[in-house]
Each structure stands twice: as structure tokens, then as C-alpha cells.
Structure 1
Amino acid sequence: MSEKTKSREMTEQPAPSPAEERKASAVTEAIVQLGQTAVPSGESNIFCLTIIGQIEGHLMLPPQNKTTKYEHVIPQLIAAEQNSKIEGLLIILNTVGGDVEAGLAIAEMIASLTKPTVTVVLGGGHSIGVPIAVSADYTFIAETATMTIHPIRMNGLVIGVPQTFEYLEKMQERVTRFVTRHSRITEETFKHLMFKTGELTRDIGTTVIGADAVRHGLIDSVGALGEALKELNRRIKELKTSHSEGGEGE
């Protein structure tokens, strides 16, 4: 075969189909986003929700910020609650905090779910991330993870009138009440950590690390992904057993 014929055959190869183009695009996207070509697949009975970066509420944050948007999280929680194939939820936190009302909305949603829930604090669960961390049925914190407890802060223009401070006080009370209701920490201890001076430079509050969060009663146990999945599967199995026994009793 002559070089001319070979060249003609190479140029006359059929163009890739749309399906092949989509597949190639998906592989490229996986490499860009995850650094790998094969993305693990397969259905699971556990829904994993990640709360990362800064929790975005009513105001959009700058595009360079890593954010968790509450308008994205809430529909996911509703879908997980309604999906019969989902038997439990694992919530992974590594957040610096963010919008107070958005954070409380997510925490209330998680606390209201009827399916077993477990949270894991990896890296950090700071500020309004604390209520989200304690909102599940059982909570874990990695040995090196931290949680910063401090009073509510406001950015931008603040009108210096008594009503503003009363509003801040009520917001703070909402956070305190939620945390103490969904964990073993007492209100006295939580407020002591919140208003502690000297630990945070030119600010008030406390940073608790791993075992300290458990000692204060804020988190149930020290552990990470393996322990969290084990506990969640145990609760799923327990719920199934109670349902089957209830059905037999009827």
C-alpha cells in the first residue's frame, strides 16, 4: 500500500459519534476535577452530604470562595428523605461557618429527618458549623479536627440601637438552645466556651480539638469515616429490626 493510500484512509476515518464525544468529555472532566479517569460507581443505601468551605445564605459570596449553598442542600435532604432506596445519611463537615440562618436551617432539616443520621467533623466544624455537627443522631469528630465556638458576629453596617443588640441576643439564644438540645453539653459550659477570653487573639471564644469536644459533651465520640459508617450501618440495621418486629406484632 502506498503512502498516499495510507494517508487517504487516515483522513477518511469516521468522526466520533456524540456518545463517544460525551464519554471522552466525561473522562477529561474526571481528570480535571478528581485527578483520575475511573470514578467509583454503584448504588448505595447511604446518602453522603458534604458541608464544606463557607455556608452561603441570602447573599452570594465571591466566586473564589469554596461554598456550600443552602438552597442546594435543602432539596438534597428532602430527596434523601423521600427516596426509599436511601436508608441512612452521612454528613461530612469541613466548614469555617457562614450565614447563621442558613446554617440553622440546614441543622434543623437534618435533625428532623426520620432516617438514621451520623455526622463527622473532618478538619473543622467552626462557628455555625457547630449546630450542623450536633444535629445528627450520632456525631463523630476526627482526632485532629477543631471546632470554634464564639458569639454571633455581623458584617457590614450595624445600626447601634438597642433593638439591634436584642436581635443579636435572640439569634445567639437560638444557636445555644439548638446545640444544647441536640448534644450533651450544658448551656453553662457552652456559654463559658463561647465567651472565654484570652484563647482567640483579640477576640472571645474557644477552639476545641477532637477529644476536647467529646469531653465537653459537644460531640459523641472521636472517630472518622470508618467509625461513622459502622455506626450508621448499625443504626440502619437496628431500625430495620424494630420495623420487622413491629410488623410481626401486628
Structure 2
Amino acid sequence: MLSTLLYPFFASARYWRRRLAIKSRSISLKISPENAERFGLEGSGQKFLDSLITERELQLMSVEIEALPSGWAAQQALRQKLERWKSVPGRTLFVHLRFPSLRGYWVGSIADSLWMEPCSSLFWVGVGVSPFFYGALLERLGVQADLVAAGSFKSFGESYTRSAPTQENRLQLKELVGSLQSQVLEQIVDARFKEIDFKQLSTDQNEDSQHKREFSSFKQQKLAHLNSLMKKGALSVEELEEEGLIDGVLYRDQYEQEVRTFVNRDSKPLTQRYDFWLGIERLWKQWTRSNVVVISLKGPVVEQPQSKSSIASAQILPVLRRIEKDSSIKGVIVSIDSPGGSAIASDQIARAIQILRRKKPVIAVMGNVAASGGYYIAASCDAIYAHANTVTGSIGVVGGKLSLGQALGRIGVHSEVISAGNNADFLSPLRPFSDKQREQFRGFLYRTYDRFLHVVSSGRKIPVAQLEKVAQGRVWTGEQAYKHGLVDGVGGLKEALKALSQRIKGTKLAPVWIDFKPHPFERVRNVLGSVGMSSSREGIRSSDNILLRELLREAPLLIRLVVENPQKPLLLLSDWEDCL
């Protein structure tokens, strides 16, 4: 009844949205540091671009790039949205680049016309990663990170035990950044030096096969040349124009005049009113026709909610159970952006997805990172889609403890174990593992690793022996993962929805989003909980752990999890992905 009464209001939203598009004929976007994350994966900016693709009356899109959303996959998705918009015949895309980096240029290179300001330069430098190693520092402080890994490429622990990467880690990082850089340069060449343009240079246009060979050779030469340009570092706008990498040099006011001239009128770009009516229309569709749920999982995988964004099994499991019982929901998409975390929480979520799959299809789509515990969850879905430059894989386990006995001894604090049985100090933060304990702990981790392999093997239909070759904690880009069979396709939400529609035949999909955000008072509750615990008898017995948790509250996730629960294995990617 209520939906019938409100229908005229919601129906008018489409009318006003369409009228604004017809009146404008152009759209101007500015991606700035203030709004860049709106254009990230699942952001309102990405959904806004999706709606613009269907507006047939729009002739010109002007994009001013001053910043980019964080993450390779988010930047790739933004570039693909712009490419989809301009692929409609009769449309033109202008870009004014004021973000002088290879990534900024890569996103902007899809434009029909690309300009920069006269005084700017472009830092044409290679893709790299600079992981930090704290082993020497911790040794100097008298702190021993006694960490063990299952998987020769599982590198997280070495950041706290070494001063340089192992050969295995160096190899995987070199291949990872090499894959990312190859993708970027190939897409730049495809955008700026199109095959249709090369036809004009071809000596024999009547021979398609010869033309393809000539263009392939031309493309390889261009790739080699773009790689060689990185030796220069910063390229001036004059050099960029000479290389054919930009179309001209314009100040901001000149660029705005160019836009107005192109549409043959004063540019009246779509405003927030368009976004308002679009939001009303989207709300109506979700309210009345939702039959697909997109579950957004972001952050580390943990058992209980954290003060920051996290994938807490205690929050997610009840939602998955309700979805399973809701007959109006025909399918589920699990959107994952996570470096992993707790093995127990990952396994709990994976199990709930396996049960959900018995009644409705579940498709996983990966964001910037979906590795280790994040991949564990995805492997239980019917199909997996990853962006070409998603960081994924890392099928391995890590765990251990911090030993503070030596550090405490330096300030006059000592401890002695008095026990009635063996291994009373197994998990004690006051002393490292003995050789025998370390072997026992390694066996414990390898049992978790075998479970990880079993879950992936069962979900991906890959024999364990074959899976071992691409496991061992090794990380891959989405493109590499597709070649190894770890994902079903290269793509994002659009491809995942298409795959879901093939499984739900005869049903028009209308997705609704579920996002898990931290409770605003979660951090206060954590602090109060610690205070309350320290005043109890249990708190007196474990006061060393409480003190350690407080000191390391802002420490990297691995260290915090190891300190709080050394008895629980971790499926967690190293923190070097933040350096990419």
C-alpha cells in the first residue's frame, strides 16, 4: 500500500534525471583529494558513472584528475568505467591531468584528448614496492618475534625477523610488480596508439594478416620505448607532446574554454541535483525489486568486530543465515577487499557460504586485495572474479609469538617458570619457543595449511598436488591468478552480476548492498573492557598480555593478533601491499 502511494514521487525521479541529462548534454567531473575515494570500488562515484553510461543524450565528459582512489583495482575499475562511457558512438572524453604520476596518466590515457598544464611534468617511473623490515630494530630492543610460516613464500613473519627479504619473497615481489607494470604500459599503448590509427602507417592495408604482424611489432617497439623513458624519471610536457603521450598543453581556464567550445554553448554540467534524483531512483529499485544481495567485506578477517573496518565472523554469520532463509533473495555476490587475518574466522565464514550455496548461487568479486584469508573465503563461492591487478593468492599460514623476556630483563624485570606439567611456557610472551616447541608449533600451522589447501581444492576443483605449485603463500595479480585457475575470470561487479544472471535464469537482477561498518563506540568498549579486565583476578594473572596489547594497539595487524591470540593461526598477507 505504501509503495503504491509513493510510486508517483519515485517515478518522477527518472523523469527529472533524464531531463537534466537532455538539458546539459555534457558532464564535468573533478577527482580531487577530497572526493577521490568516492570513485573507489563500490563508491558512489563508480555508481554515478554507471548511470551516465545509459544517458544517451550526453555528448561530452570532462574529467579533471587531481587525485585517484587508493588501490590498483579501484583505479583500474575507474579507467574501465570511463572507457565504457566513451565506447558509445558519438561520445567524446576530455581529460585534464593534474596528477603527475604513471598511475594518473594510465587512468587518463583512455581519453580522446588529454591535456596537462604548461608548468607540470610527469614522473614516468616504474612500479615498485619497498617493504619494511624490523628485525634489527627488535633485536636491538631485546624483542624476539618468534614467527613460523607454512609456505615457502609466506613472507609476513620475515618483516619482523629479518633485515632483508628472502630470495623467495624477492622473486614473488619482482614478478608481481612486473605484471602490474606490464598491464599498465600495454593498456597505455592500446589507448594512445590504436590499431585503427596504425592502419594509416601500414604499407599494405589490404593484407589483414600482414597488418596485424606489423602492428604487433609496432606495439612491442612502443612498449620497449616507454620502458626506456623511465630512465629519465620526470618528463616535461614538451617531451610528452613530442612522444604523442598527450594532445596539448592548456591552463585550467583554457581547458574549460575548450570544453565550452566543443559543445558549442556554455557548459552546464550535470550537478548534484542529478545525483539526488539518481539516489531516489536507486532507493526505489532496491526497496521494491531487490532480489540479489551484494555483501561488502572490507578489512582484516577477525572473529569479533574491531574499532576499524573489519570482516568479523560474529557479525557476518547471522546475516548469511538470514539470507539463506529469505526466499526473495535469488543470489548473492560477496565483494572482498581483505589481506586476510584469523584462520578460524575465515573458515567459519567459508563454511557459512558453503551452506548458503546449497540454496542459491554465490559469486565472489575481488577488490584491491583478496589474499590469504580473503582468498579462503572466496574459494568457497561458486565462481570468483578478480580485477587484472587485484593482489590475491597467498595460500599459506603464519603464526607465533613475541618474546619480551630479554627486553624486560634489561630494565630489571625477570621471570621463572614453575609448572606442574610440560610446556607451561609454550605460549608465554616472556621467552621464545624451544627448538622442540617450534617444531610442534610448525606442525600445528601445517595442519591449518593442509585444511586451507583442502578448502581451495574442493572449491576450485583443483587437485591438491597441482594446487601446491601455485600455493606456498605466493601472491599473484588477478591476471596471473586467472592463468593459474585460481579465479574464473578477470573483471569486477559487472562480470560477477552477469555470471550470477546465468545461474538465475529468467530473473532480472536488482542488487541491494550490505556493508559492515564498525560501531561508533566499539573502540570505547574495547578500552573499557581492558580496564575492567585488568581489575579482575583473571586480569592480574594476564596483566603482562594486557599491557602488551595496550602498547601495541596501533601496531600492524599481525603483531596485534599474535600478541592477543598466539594459539590461533593466521591467514594474512604481508603489509607490503600498502607500499605498492
Task: Select the residue among 116, 141, 144 that pairs with 2:361.
Answer: 116
Question: What are the superposed Cα offsets for residues 162-212 of structure 1, whole Å, 9 maximum, x if unpaired?
Answer: 4422221111111110001111444234323333xxxxxxxxx32211221
Query: Aligned in 2, Cα 1:171/1:48: closer, same or farther, shift over 3 Å?
Result: same
The aligned amino acid for 1:81 is E
> SS state of the match for residue 193, structure 1?
coil
Query: Aligned in 2, Cα 1:104/1:211: closer, same or farther, shift over 3 Å?
Result: same
Task: Select the residue among 338, 344, 352 that pairs with 1:101.
Answer: 344
The aligned amino acid for 1:233 is S
Tell me, in whole angstroms, the C-alpha distance in 2 between the residues paired with 1:150 and 1:179.
Answer: 9
**Structure 2 equivalent of residue 194 of structure 1:** 471
Tell me, in whole angstroms, the C-alpha distance in 1 between the residues paired with 2:470 and 2:499.
Answer: 29
- What's the CA shift for 1:34? 6.9
**Structure 1 equivalent of residue 332 of structure 2:** 89
1:45 aligns with 2:291: yes
- What's the CA shift for 1:238? 7.3
**Structure 1 equivalent of residue 451 of structure 2:** 174
Tell me, in whole angstroms, the C-alpha distance in 2 between the residues paired with 1:68 and 1:57.
Answer: 8
- What's the CA shift for 1:150? 4.3
Task: Select the residue among 57, 82, 89 that pairs with 2:303.
Answer: 57
1:139 aligns with 2:416: no
TM-score by length of 1: 0.70
Q: Is the 8 A contact 1:184 1:217 kept in 2?
A: no
Query: Aligned in 2, Cα 1:238/1:170: closer, same or farther, shift over 3 Å?
Result: farther
Tell me, in whole angstroms, the C-alpha distance in 2 between the residues paired with 1:116 and 1:172.
Answer: 27
1:73 aligns with 2:341: no
Write the mapping of 1:143-222 to structure 2, written as runs, cut at 5 A.
Answer: 143-157=388-402, 159=427, 160=433, 161=437, 162-195=439-472, 205-222=473-490
Query: Aligned in 2, Cα 1:155/1:54: closer, same or farther, shift over 3 Å?
Result: farther
* Gap runs ≥5 in structure 1: 1-32, 196-204, 240-250
Question: What are the superposed Cα offsets for residues 37-60 of structure 1, whole Å, 9 maximum, x if unpaired?
Answer: 6464223100111111111125x6
Q: Is the 8 A contact 1:189 1:216 kept in 2?
A: no
> SS state of the match for residue 396, structure 2?
coil
Q: Is the 8 A contact 2:380 2:459 kept in 1?
A: yes
Tell me, in whole angstroms, the C-alpha distance in 1 between the residues paired with 2:465 and 2:384.
Answer: 21
> SS state of the match for residue 154, structure 1?
strand
> SS state of the match for residue 300, structure 2?
strand
Q: Is the 8 A contact 2:336 2:366 kept in 1?
A: yes
The aligned amino acid for 2:303 is G
> SS state of the match for residue 504, structure 2?
helix
> SS state of the match for residue 505, structure 2?
helix
Larger Rg: 2
Q: Is the 8 A contact 1:184 1:218 kept in 2?
A: no
> SS state of the match for residue 301, structure 2?
strand
Q: Is the 8 A contact 2:302 2:311 kept in 1?
A: yes
Query: Aligned in 2, Cα 1:48/1:224: closer, same or farther, shift over 3 Å?
Result: same
Question: What are the superposed Cα offsets for residues 110-151 of structure 1, whole Å, 9 maximum, x if unpaired?
Answer: 122121111101211111111111211121111221104142
Q: Is the 8 A contact 1:88 1:117 kept in 2?
A: yes
- What's the CA shift for 1:234? 1.6
Task: Select the residue among 370, 373, 396 that pairs with 1:128.
Answer: 373
The aligned amino acid for 1:47 is V
TM-score by length of 2: 0.32
Query: Aligned in 2, Cα 1:172/1:71: closer, same or farther, shift over 3 Å?
Result: same
* Gap runs ≥5 in structure 2: 1-42, 46-274, 403-425, 428-432, 508-580
Question: What are the superposed Cα offsets for residues 195-248 of structure 1, whole Å, 9 maximum, x if unpaired?
Answer: 3xxxxxxxxx32211221111111111111111111112201279xxxxxxxxx
Computed over aligned residues only, the root mean square deviation of the Cα atoms, in angstroms, reads 2.6
> SS state of the match for residue 104, structure 1?
helix
- What's the CA shift for 1:66? 2.3
